[in-house]
Structure 1
Amino acid sequence: MAPQRFHEQFDQIQRSMPDVPLALGPDDAAEFIYEKGVVLARDEDAGLVEDNVRTHFTAATGLSADQIRRAGPETNRSGITRIQVGDPSHGDMNADRAVAHALRALREPEGRAGHRMISRNHVVSIAVNSCPGDEPVPAPLTQGTNPAPAEGGHTADSAVGVLVIDNGLTHDHAAVPLLAHVRGDVHETETDGRGNLLQYIGHGTFIAGLVAAVAPNTDVTVRSTLNDAGAILESEFGERLFDAVDRDGWPDVISLSAGTSNGRTDGLLGVAAFMEELRQQRTLLVAAAGNNASATPFWPAAYASLPEYQDVVLSVGALRGDGEFGACFSNHGPWVNAYAPGERLTSALTGFDAPVPYEYQHSTYDACRYGFSYVCTCQAPRHTGVLSENGTSAKPDQVMFEGFAHWSGTSFATPVVAGMVAAHMTAHKETDPRAARKQLLEANSEFAEVRGTHVPALRPATWRPVPVVQRAVPVVQRSARA
């Protein structure tokens, strides 16, 4: 059975949000996930949106006039209101006519060109890709991490503060020497009823290990802003980002390995207030470009392309194992600032309490999902997943993790670059992370090829290339014409 990666991820995310009806979008293609029957509006526009839907579109929404109402808190720090515009039980996961109708109808208000009225309530996630490159593979402890730990130690009074916005830490992470100074939130539940590690558990631990390896003189804090499936609604995301910086203070660097596309070029309505506050701080946001193999802007990373955020955000794509070309799954485009190794990196997944089993959720493909000729994470290592083979007699593959893992994704290229910014700050006694961003990119003389374009490549000195195997392409014999 051929894997249907995006639909499998949709099912996984839906299980993590059992009380939130979700749909795939836009209506004619599966590019993002959003909440059915609901739109987002700025607080100051909420009344106008309600009145317009109630007056003009009641028949199309499937609701009576009094059912069209605000579905969330009256106000919050993000300045966003959820408004119910349709019956979420109507239709299936492939469409929401009421939301689409409201989006078409409520565009820029008269006399306010460029003012965005409403948005879908997107799911922000670490899990949006059609290639099964985000499931880990066991790695022997004797092999060490890749990138290997850089020279230098941790000095509390000069350490660079790095806040990782993710899904938390494994309970035994401190057993890994590399993570001795890492603090933060621990997963509430790590295994299922049979003792198998849940998908994406260890994602935040793995990221913390990469930051600490590239930049030993860092104080890394991991916050479980996302749920254990690595997802959150856009309406909640901005508020949770505010919560994280309120709790820990604005750090030097934020490493964020999550996002969503939305078909727009002006960002996410749900994080607009946070991004505006970020502009007023000195913090640098290093954000993953996403794993859709697409040039469509992926937010918040794509804020790096907006003039007012060019010094505030550093967007990161992934290079394949040899570091010479883009990974098959990596998003790309002019909104991506730089690329870093992001395929088959090695870091800590758990501590050393005991080996823990893991059952693969997604099957590999027979060939690269995107038509690349090298043997990519779509194909190898080969495994059979429970979601891909659901309803068949195929038995999913199970492995044991004893601490370290190989893992792939722009999720992991991102903390590599966050670590490089932090290491630059330490080496050059630079206290301004945004200045360090500029200096790092200007001093870089290395490039890679991504989709026929030469792009800046940031490769840590301690990173070891992973040999790339080219898939044999059959030669078709053609007879010469007479």
Structure 2
Amino acid sequence: MAPQRFREQFDQIQRAMRDVPLAMGPDDSAEFLYEKGVVLARDGEEAEIVEDAVRTFFTQAPDLTPDTVRRASPRRNRSGITRIQVGDPGEGAPGADRAVAGALRALRQAEGRAGRRLVSRNHVVSIAVNACPGDEPAPAPPHEPPNPAAAEGLHDPDTAVGVLVVDTGLMGDYRSYPLLAHTDGDLQLQETDEQGVLQQYVGHGTFIAGLVAAVAPNTDVTVRNSLNDAGAILESEFGERLFDAVDASGWPDILSLSAGTSNGRTDGLLGVQAFMEELREQHTLLVACAGNNASATPFWPAAYADLPEWQDSVLSVGALRGDGEFGACFSNHGAWVKVYAPGERLTGPLTGWAAPVPYVYQHSTYDTCRYGFGYGCTCQFPRHTGVLSDENALAKPDQVMFQGLAQWSGTSFATPVVAGLIAAHMTAHKETDPRAARRQLLAANTEFAEVRGAHVPALLPPTWRAVPAEPPVAVA
């Protein structure tokens, strides 16, 4: 049974993607979301193999209908992926999708013969998987400086490192924050609702850009608003959006990506395979978040860092808690996560520089850490009541005002910290190859942290201030 926060996220994403019926998988668990009644295959011959195999399988299954199997997206795209409808998306409960499960079973033998995957669910790639970011933003305490603070250094347009952030767009007042003077890109499409209240997840891209600029002043940061719809997009579209982002800006030195999904597999996402293959041939280093499910299950695209073909071109990033000594309660973990950085209660730019902007919390905090940790983590603190939480249906949700800086947690934010450290290393050592800079930085690193009993490399920015772990929150 999916936990409370995941169900709240599911409902939020379903409302944003109202024309796309979604299901939870597998079997109503909290591992991933996907498009109901649809599977993915590569264009051409493989799509035909999938269609034929599914029709044959459905003919032998009395409760499945072979007549529903047809192409759902005939238009070819650069990702080389076709959506194939295998069932009626309107049938069954949100957590049940017998047609997609049957289609996956139908191709098992064919995949074994082919030696490669032929079919996939159409997963939801999101910044909002199981409370990803690790929490909702909170206004920074009065007079709280940015953390990490701005590093010393000047912006030199001739040597600046190019960093592309694929995320939500920039807030309209982002240039009011001095560190974002050399940031460019797309604006957030809709910052507030009809009542002038901030939408959930807006400001995510702006916060990330501010972290990069703080750690590495000699950067040209470009933000693309590829994930504006509650931070979510279908896998079938995600690869195309990544191609669009690099087409618009050129292949950057560093691509900072704070989104992804699990898929229950160890061989990547079918929908981004074409992009990942082209990435491998470029000079770009993809720095990607490990996700916030407190799980060892691979989270993609970050987990490509553990596949031999991409170990040089992808770096996966987990989050440390505020003291920098241990893993944050929410951070994914495992051998596929290659480095960790501070990701709990970082302080950076959000919005409201000209005038305060209200925000209503969507999720309620917990009485105890939902992952079983004993410190005052983001599950518990700062405490608030959210509008989506069922047990608080009669309680009034808490509202706060944002004016400038915010505190926010997640592997989403550890990721740009690492991207910034690699960029700063490139500037300091006059290194033009971001992949070489990554190797040099990790080879010279002497800091380690403890994550789930393992000692892991920890990258700590010189201007970052460790914050002692909060004591457990006492609940009356």
Q: TM-score, normalised by structure 1?
A: 0.95
Post-superposition shift, 1:195?
A: 1.0
Structure 2 partner of 1:296: 297
RMSD (CA atoms) = 1.9
Pairing 1:53-202 to 2, within 5 Å after superposition = 53-58=54-59, 60=61, 64-109=65-110, 112-129=113-130, 133-140=134-141, 142-202=143-203
Structure 1 partner of 2:9: 9
Cα distance in 2 between the residues matched to 1:166 and 1:14:
19
Distance 1:39 1:152, change over 3 A: same
Pairing 1:31-430 to 2, within 5 Å after superposition = 31-44=31-44, 45-58=46-59, 60=61, 64-109=65-110, 112-129=113-130, 133-140=134-141, 142-350=143-351, 352-389=353-390, 392-430=393-431
Post-superposition shift, 1:114?
A: 2.4
Distance 1:351 1:473, change over 3 A: closer
Structure 2 partner of 1:463: 464
Letter in 2 for 1:9: Q
Post-superposition shift, 1:134?
A: 2.5
Post-superposition shift, 1:194?
A: 1.3
Post-superposition shift, 1:65?
A: 3.9
Distance 1:419 1:239, change over 3 A: same
Q: Which ranges of structure 2 fall in alignment gaps of 5 or more residues?
A: none
Cα distance in 1 between the residues matched to 2:77 and 2:394:
49
Structure 2 partner of 1:22: 22
Cα distance in 2 between the residues matched to 1:472 and 1:11:
28
Q: Which ranges of structure 1 fall in alignment gaps of 5 or more residues?
A: 475-482
Cα distance in 1 between the residues matched to 2:376 and 2:106:
46
Distance 1:399 1:61, change over 3 A: farther
- Secondary structure, in 3 states, of the residue corresponding to 2:309? helix
Q: Is the 8 A contact 1:39 1:83 kept in 2?
A: yes
Q: Is the 8 A contact 1:175 1:351 kept in 2?
A: no
Letter in 1 for 2:428: A
- Secondary structure, in 3 states, of the residue corresponding to 2:11? helix
Post-superposition shift, 1:9?
A: 0.2
Cα distance in 1 between the residues matched to 2:116 and 2:363:
41
Cα distance in 2 between the residues matched to 1:468 and 1:231:
31
Cα distance in 2 between the residues matched to 1:329 and 1:318:
8
Cα distance in 2 between the residues matched to 1:258 and 1:472:
30
Distance 1:33 1:111, change over 3 A: closer
Post-superposition shift, 1:457?
A: 0.3
Letter in 1 for 2:175: A
- Secondary structure, in 3 states, of the residue corresponding to 1:147? coil
Post-superposition shift, 1:193?
A: 1.4
Shifted more, 283-292 versus 174-183: the winner is: 174-183
Cα distance in 2 between the residues matched to 1:404 and 1:464:
16
Distance 1:17 1:381, change over 3 A: same
Letter in 1 for 2:54: V
Distance 1:167 1:473, change over 3 A: closer
Post-superposition shift, 1:62?
A: 6.3
- Secondary structure, in 3 states, of the residue corresponding to 2:450? strand
Shifted more, 64-73 versus 46-55: the winner is: 64-73
Structure 2 partner of 1:479: none
> After superposition, what is the alpha-carbon deviation per residue over 1:238-266, rounded to whole angstroms, capped at 9, x for unaligned?
00100010111000000000000000000
> After superposition, what is the alpha-carbon deviation per residue over 1:112-164, rounded to whole angstroms, capped at 9, x for unaligned?
44210100000000111258833000014632210000000111010000000
Post-superposition shift, 1:56?
A: 2.7
Cα distance in 1 between the residues matched to 2:394 and 2:340:
41
Aligned length: 473
Shifted more, 48-57 versus 228-237: the winner is: 48-57
Cα distance in 2 between the residues matched to 1:469 and 1:287:
28
Q: Is the 8 A contact 1:109 1:115 kept in 2?
A: no
Post-superposition shift, 1:109?
A: 2.2
Letter in 2 for 1:116: R
> After superposition, what is the alpha-carbon deviation per residue over 1:305-356, rounded to whole angstroms, capped at 9, x for unaligned?
0001011000000000100000000000000000000000000001512100
Distance 1:62 1:176, change over 3 A: farther
Shifted more, 86-95 versus 431-440: the winner is: 86-95
Structure 2 partner of 1:444: 445
Cα distance in 2 between the residues matched to 1:354 and 1:205:
17
Q: Is the 8 A contact 1:289 1:316 kept in 2?
A: yes
Post-superposition shift, 1:68?
A: 1.4
- Secondary structure, in 3 states, of the residue corresponding to 1:20? coil
Q: Is the 8 A contact 2:65 2:87 kept in 1?
A: no
Post-superposition shift, 1:471?
A: 2.4
Q: Is the 8 A contact 2:132 2:412 kept in 1?
A: no
Letter in 2 for 1:219: D
Q: Is the 8 A contact 1:375 1:468 kept in 2?
A: yes
Post-superposition shift, 1:27?
A: 1.4
Letter in 2 for 1:146: N
- Secondary structure, in 3 states, of the residue corresponding to 1:348? strand
Cα distance in 2 between the residues matched to 1:48 and 1:314:
35
Shifted more, 388-397 versus 42-51: the winner is: 388-397
Cα distance in 1 between the residues matched to 2:70 and 2:7:
30
Q: Is the 8 A contact 1:174 1:351 kept in 2?
A: no
Structure 2 partner of 1:480: none
Distance 1:130 1:275, change over 3 A: same
Q: Is the 8 A contact 2:133 2:412 kept in 1?
A: no
Q: TM-score, normalised by structure 2?
A: 0.96
